[in-house]
Structures are given as structure tokens and as C-alpha cells.
Amino acid sequence: MNFTVNSKVLVQGATEPLGAMYVPLMQAYGTPVVAGVSPGYGGQALDGIPLYDLVEQAVEQLGPIDTTIIFVPPYEVLDAVLEAIAAEIHQVILITEGVPPLDTVQLLREAEATETLVVGPNTPGIIVPGQVLLGTHPPTFYTPGPVGVLSRSGTLTYEVGLELTRAGLGQSIVVGIGGDRILGSSFQQWLQILEEDDATEVIVLVGEIGGDNEERAARYIAEALDKPVVAYIAGRTAPKGQPLGHAGAIVASRIAGVGSDIGTAESKLAAFKRAKIPVADRPSQIPQLVQRALAQG
């Protein structure tokens, strides 16, 4: 994993509306965006960043690229990821929402075969406060510190980051793993990464109803982690039987063989209780639980 000011970042779909909006914001934050890729725009520039028609052309001109951030439309994501992997880029952040599931399966198979880290789809990306912004996080909400944040939600991630910052608790890294049903990197993978990260002293896991991501994460924390973890589950007050949240999360709990209880707030809270992980009742309570965890550590 290489998310530092010394890494080289490429943006695919740099001239798409969202890409064009966030490229200058990432650049202003200090993110080393060295090029953008948008077919038909080769030879032009976006806020001083050279544009290329192909990822291969960018790599030929600029040398190896560490990370690509993808803003292309859903049905172009598969080709964009395969193009990046072919150019030996092994950190891929998929901002795009609603990638066709079979496309996601195919790109993840290729990513696994090439040891490529995929964050997303449907993610705000990653921010290492004070160093790099890789996606759509509002950087003013964050400040450097010892708290690692992992989340399935986009806007809720920002809220938690702001609550921590206001309480004087900075963040080591904030990762949105994505909201689509089929995802690249999981809570478990990032928990392992943060367990080994010297800058992270405590981890905040932000989950939501639907799917079994949180249940699996709770088991992993109980079995494999030494660092303290604090959790929050969104959707606890949602009416029972009423599907809410990300479309992917809704579908997840309906898959045959999973069981009707998996994916409910009760199931997730019970999993965290078994793993002895403190759970905040609301986002504003998270800083208090983090401070307690730091004091005990």
C-alpha cells in the first residue's frame, strides 16, 4: 500500500463532470496527480495536468503509476480497470456507483490474479489527512491523528470525520470501502492493514443495515486484532421489514441461504457485542468511545 505524497496518481475520466470537479481539489490538497486519461482529450491539459487518450501513453511518458482514481461511467469501468491493470497500476479507487455486477466480478478476478488493491465501487475514496486526498472526501473535515476510519457509507464517513476532528481526535487514514453489493477490498482487509499501521492507534468502523459485512468484520476483530475498535451502525431505527440504505445492502440480505436475520441492526449489534466491541448510539458519541479506548490502550 502506497498512499503518500511520494506516490504518483492518475485520474481516469478526468474530464467527466465529477472528475473535472475533484481533480483540482485533490491537486490543491497536495495529492500528486501527475496525469489524467480521457479518450479524445490527449494532448490537452486540465488545471495544468496533462491529459492522455490511453493509460499506456501516460505510463510511457511519466513512468510507473502507483494509484488510479476512476470517475468513468458505470459501463466503462471494466475496461478502465483492465486498462489500468495492464499498465501495472496496482491500486485502483472506483468512485463510480452502480457498476454492473458481472463487470465487477470480472475486474475483481483480474485484480486478485495481479495482486491489485481495489477500493469500491461506489466509494468516496481515501484520505490520509495532511498528505493526500484520493477521491471525494471534504478535506476540511479531517485532521492528522491516530484514528483510522473504515466505512461503508459516504456522507456518514464525512460526519464521523468531522465529529472526531471537533473533539481533537485526528485521523491516520479514512477509507470508504464502497456501497455497491459487490466490493473490492473488504472491512477485513482494511482492518488487517490498520492493525499493521504504526500511525493508527484505534479504529472506527462505520457500518449500516443490510448485508453481512459487519458480522464478518466483528468475527475477524475478535479473532485477529489487538488494536481497539469502536463501531457505529446506521439504520438502527429503520422500520422492520422496510428496505433502506444502499441498493446493494438491500439485496444482500435477500440472497438465498443467507437468512432473514442477517443484515438487520439487531444482528450486527449482537455480533459486535459478542466481539466485545463498543458501539456508539449516534455519531456524536463516537469521539467519547475513541477517547476511552485510547486511555485504556
pLDDT, one tens digit per residue, over 16-44 is 999 999 999 999 999 999 999 999 999 99
What is the tens place of the pLDDT at every residue in 213-229?
999 999 999 999 999 99
pLDDT over 90, % of the chain:
84
Average pLDDT over residues 97-108: 97
Residue 284 has pLDDT above 60, yes or no: yes
CATH number at residue 87: 3.40.50.720
Residue 126 forms part of a structural domain: no
Domain edge (last residue) among 119, 148, 167: 119
Output the pLDDT for position 235. Answer: 72
Q: Are residues 63 and 145 located together in one domain of the fold?
A: no
Residue 97 forms part of a structural domain: yes
Confidence of residue 255 (pLDDT cuts 50, 70, 90): very low
Number of domains observed in the structure of the chain: 2
| Strand 229-234 relative to strand 117-119, pairing | unpaired
Q: Is 246 a catalytic residue?
A: yes
Domain edge (last residue) among 69, 91, 119: 119
Residue 257 has pLDDT above 50, yes or no: no
Helix 155-166 and helix 286-296, axial crossing angle in degrees, nearest 10: 60
Q: Are residues 163 and 291 located together in one domain of the fold?
A: yes
What is the tens place of the pLDDT at every residue in 43-56?
999 999 999 999 99
Output the pLDDT for position 239. Answer: 63
Domain edge (last residue) among 72, 89, 119: 119
Q: Are residues 217 and 84 located together in one domain of the fold?
A: no
What is the tens place of the pLDDT at every residue in 169-182?
999 999 999 999 89
What would you measure as the largest C-alpha separation in the chain, in angstroms? 57
Q: Are residues 170 and 278 located together in one domain of the fold?
A: yes
Q: Are residues 167 and 288 located together in one domain of the fold?
A: yes
Q: Are residues 144 and 284 located together in one domain of the fold?
A: yes
What is the model's pTM? Answer: 0.92
Residue 132 has pLDDT above 60, yes or no: yes
Residue 1 forms part of a structural domain: no
Output the pLDDT for position 2. Answer: 82
Residue 47 forms part of a structural domain: yes
Output the pLDDT for position 244. Answer: 52
Can you give the residue range of the structural domain that contains 70?
9-119
Q: Are residues 53 and 161 located together in one domain of the fold?
A: no
Residue 61 has pLDDT above 90, yes or no: yes
Confidence of residue 137 (pLDDT cuts 50, 70, 90): very high
Q: Are residues 190 and 104 located together in one domain of the fold?
A: no
Separation CA 128–CA 117 (nearest Å): 17
Output the pLDDT for position 240. Answer: 64
Among residues 246, 272, 289, 293, the one annotated as catalytic is 246
